[in-house]
């Protein structure tokens, strides 16, 4: 969650996306699809696990354990 906002960034492990949630209204305001590259692993799971926010650079980082990747998304 950002210090200056009420936005939460959530990794959606099953569908390879990251959702942005307005915590003040509990509403999904955006979803970034196709975060990890390449086909899913067994069971159609990409393995998105963690999310961290770099507010200074307006970047969101998410880890993909099934593909050994880190994806960077602009939060601006």
pLDDT tens for 19-62 read 999 999 999 999 988 776 666 555 555 677 788 889 889 898 88
- C-alpha torsion angle, residues 14, 34, 72, 24 (rounded to 10): -60
pLDDT of residue 40: 54
pLDDT of residue 25: 94
pLDDT of residue 27: 96
What average pLDDT does this structure show over 5-25? 86
pTM comes to 0.74
Q: Where are the alpha helices (DSSP H) in 28-71?
A: none
């Amino acid at each position: 969650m950002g210090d200056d906002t009420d936005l939460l960034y959530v990794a959606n492990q099953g569908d390879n996306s990251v959702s942005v949630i307005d915590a003040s209204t509990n509403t999904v305001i955006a979803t970034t699809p196709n975060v990890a590259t390449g086909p899913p692993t067994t069971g159609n799971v990409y393995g998105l696990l963690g999310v961290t926010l770099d507010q200074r650079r307006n970047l969101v980082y998410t880890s993909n354990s099934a593909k050994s990747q880190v994806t960077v998304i602009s939060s601006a």
